[in-house]
Structure 1
Amino acid sequence: MMDQSQFLISSLQSWLLFLLIAFLVIIGLVFLFYAFLIWWRNRRREEQSLDYVLLQVAVPFDNEIKIDAAEQMFASLYSIKKSGWLKFLRLQPHLCFEIVAKHEDIRFYVSVPSKLKDMIEKQINGAYPDAEILEVPEYNLFSENGRVAFAELELKDSSYKPIKLYKDLPTDPLSSLTTALAKMGEEEGAAIQVLITPADSSWQAAGRNYVASVKKAESDPNKAKFKVDAKTLEAIENKCSKPGFKTAIRIVVCGESQESAEAHLSNIKSAFEQFSSDLNRFGKKKIWWKTGFMIDFIYRYQPLFSFRGWRTILNSEELATIFHFPNKQIETPHLYWLYAKRAPAPIKIPKSGLFLGRSVYRGVSRPVYIADDDRRRHMYIIGKTGTGKTELLRDLILQDIKAGRGVCLIDPHDLAEDLLAYIPPERAEEVIYFDPSDTERPMGLNLLEAYNEDQIHFVTTAIINLMYKLYDPYKTGIIGPRFEHAIRNAMLTVMSEPGNTFVEVVRCLTDPEFV
């Protein structure tokens, strides 16, 4: 009997040991599969990150576009979601919306995959028709001697519970965020990075199940332990009715000192307190690997471990509350506004002539030329110092020179000297360089040179008008009819014989023997 009992105990122990080993093997296989899945999904993330382009978005300072336009924009961006039964093997495409502040400068950026650039631009312009979207180089937030502080925010409760929305806030929430960013000193900077990727419907199912279970429990007084406010359930249902995005909110500050960086970071985090509701709020996420966090921020990587990194899911309305482009109600200083509206190039623009540049409007690029007939009329180039007037003239002149056309340049500055270095060798002998200030190598210029009667009278009238402008611009009588009559006749007399110059006009008036 004892032998039988010992046999049963031994058999039971063997089975328990087998089950334990099998369980550990299964856990190990699951862990290995998950680790392999993470590696497989992220094996090309650096290559994919480098394929992103950075778009700078600026809106007119007097625009009146409301926040709900951004909600429609985010809802339309959900269309980038990839589908398919093998979608779990691939990372979903993500977008990055950023507010970047430097000393007296706050700008808005969107980082997008290059292949989605045109589509994203159209969605932004659909919500903000007058927005200027430019592809720009990467900004540099850091300084050589700066100190860095950073944080990542996440929802503190379930993803299906909403934060406070812009409809429930007394003022535009962007005002508080940009005010916190407007206090950057020299060599300081800060960025709020909102990285989003379309989420599946599991979070919505969890929210609807929660609402259904609460309603079911409340219907039975014996099972109902507490009563949930109807507005709470309505808010959850409202959030679950709109498309959701897995969201990572990162904040990075570079300050002159560690204390300054921490102070700026605290101000920015405090601005997110305005989104706290009775159901959910943002809290600081524990960062275990600080170097990895900075790599994720700089390369705009999605969180590596989805079971923890994607705890925060925001719908289109919540994203619009946090990030939208400003309107005229935002009075924060140092915002980068668009003070001149862009327009598309006219349809009937010349297709040949001098190349002026390219018109880029809403992703459509067209070359712009000025025809020779238009150039024969007056052309006026105006602009502030340093805006490129001289550079434009230099480019137009070089196009004429390379095309074999004749060019005459009258320049009081250094443009003429600069152009000499660009003259093609085959046209070097055609150059005439006249510098009136060069007394060592003077060049003769006869202002009275004319070849027919019309030219003679044209030159005479032009010189008399010049004298009026120089010596009697207000017609006070310094130059009167008698002076004009004498000068005109003297010039006509001198010009009656070819080769005479303005020196002979003076002799004609002062030397009786000359006449």
Structure 2
Amino acid sequence: MSGWLQWSAARPWLAIGAAAVVVAVVFGRDRLAEWRHRRLAVKARLVTVAAPPEVTAESAAVLWTTMTGVLTPSVWRRIVYGTPHVAWEYTWTGRALAIGIWVPGTIPPGAVEAAVRAAWPAATVAVAEATAPIPDSVADAVGGAHWPLQHDGLPWRTDHDVDPLRPLFAAGAEVGNREQACVQILARPAPAGRVRAARRRATQANFPGGRPDVAARFLSTGARLLAEGITALVQALLPGPSPRRSPSGAAARVSLDTVAAAAAKTVVDKAIRVPHFEIAIRFAVAATRQPRDANIDPVRAKRLHERLVGLAHTFGAASAVYTGPNRLRRMKMPAPVATLAGRRLRHGFMATVPELAVLAGLPLDLAVPGLDRARAKAVPAPVAVPSGGRGVKVLGRAQLGGHTVGVNVVDTRQHMHVIGKTGSGKSTLLLNLILADIKARRGVVLIDPRGDLVNDILDRLPATYADRIVLIDPAQQRPACFNPLDDVDDPQLAVDNLVGIFSKIFQGQWGPRMDDTMRVACLTLMRHAKPVLGMIPPLLQSKQFRVMFTEGLEDPDGLGGYWTWYDSINETFRGQVIAPVLARLRAFLLRDFVKSVIGRPQSSFDMADILDGKALLCRLPKGILGEETTRILGSLIVARTWQAAVARAAIPEDQRKDATLFVDECQNFLTLPGSVADMLAEARGFRLGLVLAHQDLAQLPKETAAAVSANARTKIVFNVDPSDARELSRHTKPEIDEHDLSHLDAYTATARLLVANRELPAFTFTTNPPAPIVGEATAIRQQAAGAGIGGQNGQDDPPMMRVAKEATRKRLSKDRE
């Protein structure tokens, strides 16, 4: 040895070189670690996880088992870049609790999100750019870290009868409005060397035939000697004969060996439980800096610091719930806010997946202070759902996957039911569907009782589509007009629809005599050319005018018989017969806009042309027209659309073009005299699809609700109230239940689509945002006004209408006399 020392002393440069190598290795290792972490921090993101209403204890273990595959790199990447880590964070801002995962930028987008959804399918995730869990502009902060009290080969407790996170969330409930807190668990797959070391420790455990662990052997020997000494002292002090030597020492040794064996078994169990993680646990509490804190007095600063120390102690004490063979002890941590913001994992301790799962997971308790749970789970779209192309109406984007989802035009012939609360996104969906149909040159009829939807459509259409737009709008200078009584092909159907509409809208006051009077008056007028509804009052009130229409009626069992009876009754009784009919008609016909739309003998458009590729946009705002007027006018347009669809029976089926009738607030306009179920069933054959939208099921009569449920086979459900959710979930279970339907976010919907005559499982999607505003609505309105007929104030009345008005004036003059 002395020779080696002399040799080394003669060569001092060797010692200097060795020291330089050590310094270089240490410095280089630190620089490499810093470079690796900077690489992780670039484009890092924060995945916020909203817990579902129900969470199972096994779900967190599923997440972390999956994360081993996400985080484990290839061999050469691990050598060069190291193993990436994630940070599970519980963050309190005031009493509001958020749970998130910090994900380094080197992890492919979507990988961690998919792992979260695999563990908790009903959870929702939101991805944002990573920011510091606690801003650095704080008045004061206190923090710490947790580390195992004994070597990390000993496990801590993982079997709990209640949620092990309950003490942590109870501590978080104490965070004040101007305070913030964060508990951070950093984790990465454990290095192979540490796993091998843990297994070597396990093989050296104190089992028969194995080499005892040094620490365990020392503890066992010391405890045995202490027990024997205490026993000898007690025997010496007690009176009486000295007892014979008892086997108590041997018994104690057996007892201690049993304890050591049990402890060694836990070490073995932890060593063989794979996979393993290397983790670090940190926490911090901070007080938000206020403007007045610039000149804070020492007494108040001390109180604030003591408050934070106590709060940090509460967070630190929450780890006691994990006490088992091992436990976590609290350690001081300087610069807690900066340390948590850095999210750097240099060294950690070993943990198995079950141990990590009880530390970093979603709460099992239903009620957690400050936690905003997931509103509805995201469900993937079936593979068979169309994703775009010709012949597909796009609905939006799948909530899982983000790909386009749609419904085949062919399948929309079996109708679509859209339901959801106000502001849930129905109008956005309708807007996108209507714009797509117009641009695809499919026929469109829209009944809009609010008025905004038509305006939104016109704002987003180029003026090149103006020649195919027909507009009925009280804001239009010369709106399109149509005559409910000009159906010469099937006058009986036209009158049935018209009388049926009035009877359903005024069903509380409508009786058989009113029905008979209205029906006879309409049929009588339709025997002559160019009748209009405005002729009904003079027909009933003026005999001179009535003779022009009743002359030649000789059928005693039909129209002639009615008018013979009508002319035979006295004027007082006649007034009682016609007064209810005239009162309803007058309320409707007194509005200038109504007269301009239905008061012309000739319609300005052909509904058959509309269904073959044009668009009829009916803006009927209830706030301007009144509810009854809107219902009547909208129902008349629905009736005319249905009459045009029925007339397609004369056209070969393969030559009928697809068209869609969009009815917003459909409960106001499904007033045709026949069954809604029959209408929906028959419309498919005429290639007329209906899109029926409304807010809740209570708006529909029982029979109508049943017909829509059975015959509108594509269901689009936005956020609905719980009672409707319970009923509608019959169409969406088992994938989506009533809780999901009543907790959908705005512009998020559940779809149960019909594809190739097969009802697919339900899924969730988000509507696409509206198209950009083009700004050519004025040009479209001007061209639509040029296609109108007549004015709004009675200009250019037809001759027969002028005769009717003259008869009415004479009648009024006679009444005044």
Q: What TM-score bracket applies, with the shorter chain setting the length?
A: 0.7 to 0.9
1:490: how far off? 0.8
- Structure-2 residue corresponding to 1:5: none
Q: Provide the C-alpha distance between the structure 1 equivalents of 2:172 and 2:416, rounded to a whole number of angstroms.
A: 44
1:503: how far off? 1.0
User: Contact 1:142–1:188 (CA<8 Å) still a contact in 2?
Assistant: no
Q: How does 1:239-388 map to 2 (within 5 A)?
A: 239-242=270-273, 243-253=275-285, 255-256=287-288, 264-277=311-324, 279-287=326-334, 289=335, 292-297=338-343, 302-303=344-345, 306=346, 310-327=347-364, 329-338=365-374, 340-350=376-386, 352-361=391-400, 364=401, 366-388=403-425
Q: How does 1:43-442 map to 2 (within 5 A)?
A: 43-58=35-50, 60-63=52-55, 65-67=56-58, 69-79=59-69, 80-82=71-73, 84=75, 87-102=78-93, 105-112=96-103, 115-116=107-108, 120=112, 123-128=115-120, 130-132=121-123, 134-138=125-129, 147=139, 149=141, 151-162=143-154, 164-167=156-159, 169-182=160-173, 189-207=180-198, 212=204, 215=212, 224-226=221-223, 229-230=259-260, 231-242=262-273, 243-253=275-285, 255-256=287-288, 264-277=311-324, 279-287=326-334, 289=335, 292-297=338-343, 302-303=344-345, 306=346, 310-327=347-364, 329-338=365-374, 340-350=376-386, 352-361=391-400, 364=401, 366-411=403-448, 412-436=450-474, 438=475, 441=477
Q: Provide the C-alpha distance between the structure 1 equivalents of 2:52 and 2:277, rounded to a whole number of angstroms.
A: 28
1:253: how far off? 4.3
Q: Provide the C-alpha distance between the structure 2 equivalents of 1:426 and 1:343, rounded to a whole number of angstroms.
A: 40
Structure with a larger share of its residues in helix = 2
TM-score by structure 1 length? 0.79
Give the direction of change, closer, same or farther, for the CA distance of 1:143–1:397 in structure 2 (3 Å limit). Answer: farther
Q: How many residues align?
A: 481
User: Contact 1:218–1:224 (CA<8 Å) still a contact in 2?
Assistant: no
State the SS of the aligned residue for 1:110.
strand
User: Contact 2:134–2:182 (CA<8 Å) still a contact in 1?
Assistant: no
Q: Provide the C-alpha distance between the structure 2 equivalents of 1:42 and 1:99, rounded to a whole number of angstroms.
A: 25
1:135: how far off? 4.7
- Structure-2 residue corresponding to 1:499: 530
Q: Provide the C-alpha distance between the structure 2 equivalents of 1:55 and 1:397, rounded to a whole number of angstroms.
A: 36
State the SS of the aligned residue for 1:155.
strand
Q: Provide the C-alpha distance between the structure 2 equivalents of 1:147 and 1:222, rounded to a whole number of angstroms.
A: 47
State the SS of the aligned residue for 1:34.
helix
1:250: how far off? 2.9
Q: Tell me the amino acid that sits aligned with residue 322 of structure 2.
A: F
Q: Provide the C-alpha distance between the structure 1 equivalents of 2:139 and 2:16, rounded to a whole number of angstroms.
A: 46
- Structure-2 residue corresponding to 1:42: 34
Give the direction of change, closer, same or farther, for the CA distance of 1:181–1:449 in structure 2 (3 Å limit). Answer: farther
User: Contact 1:163–1:276 (CA<8 Å) still a contact in 2?
Assistant: no
The match for 1:458 among 477, 493, 516 is 493
**Which ranges of structure 1 fall in alignment gaps of 5 or more residues?**
1-10
Q: Tell me the amino acid that sits aligned with residue 189 of structure 2.
A: P
Give the direction of change, closer, same or farther, for the CA distance of 1:217–1:396 in structure 2 (3 Å limit). Answer: closer
Seq. identity, %: 23
Q: Tell me the amino acid that sits aligned with residue 532 of structure 2.
A: T
- Structure-2 residue corresponding to 1:4: none
1:449: how far off? 4.1
1:53: how far off? 4.3
Give the direction of change, closer, same or farther, for the CA distance of 1:221–1:314 in structure 2 (3 Å limit). Answer: closer
Q: Deviations over 1:70-96 (max 9, x none)?
A: 335434533443464884543212122
Q: How does 1:469-480 map to 2 (within 5 A)?
A: 469-473=504-508, 478-480=509-511
User: Contact 1:449–1:498 (CA<8 Å) still a contact in 2?
Assistant: no
Q: Deviations over 1:363-386 (max 9, x none)?
A: x55532122233334422222333
User: Contact 1:148–1:252 (CA<8 Å) still a contact in 2?
Assistant: no
Q: Deviations over 1:454-504 (max 9, x none)?
A: 2x333322232232233333xxxx432222111111111223334332111
State the SS of the aligned residue for 1:385.
coil
1:422: how far off? 0.8
Give the direction of change, closer, same or farther, for the CA distance of 1:25–1:86 in structure 2 (3 Å limit). Answer: farther
State the SS of the aligned residue for 1:166.
coil
Structure of greater Rg? 2
User: Contact 1:103–1:189 (CA<8 Å) still a contact in 2?
Assistant: yes
Q: Provide the C-alpha distance between the structure 2 equivalents of 1:340 and 1:232, rounded to a whole number of angstroms.
A: 45
User: Contact 1:356–1:370 (CA<8 Å) still a contact in 2?
Assistant: yes
State the SS of the aligned residue for 2:53.
coil
Q: Provide the C-alpha distance between the structure 2 equivalents of 1:220 and 1:179, rounded to a whole number of angstroms.
A: 41
Q: Deviations over 1:279-332 (max 9, x none)?
A: 331313432x557415414xxxx33xx3xxx143222221012122334x4432
User: Contact 2:67–2:112 (CA<8 Å) still a contact in 1?
Assistant: yes
User: Contact 2:148–2:326 (CA<8 Å) still a contact in 1?
Assistant: no
Alpha-carbon RMSD across the aligned residues, in angstroms, is: 3.9
User: Contact 2:180–2:286 (CA<8 Å) still a contact in 1?
Assistant: yes
User: Contact 2:199–2:268 (CA<8 Å) still a contact in 1?
Assistant: yes
Q: Tell me the amino acid that sits aligned with residue 502 of structure 2.
A: M
Q: Provide the C-alpha distance between the structure 1 equivalents of 2:341 and 2:429, rounded to a whole number of angstroms.
A: 42
1:356: how far off? 0.9
Q: Provide the C-alpha distance between the structure 2 equivalents of 1:177 and 1:158, rounded to a whole number of angstroms.
A: 22
1:152: how far off? 4.1
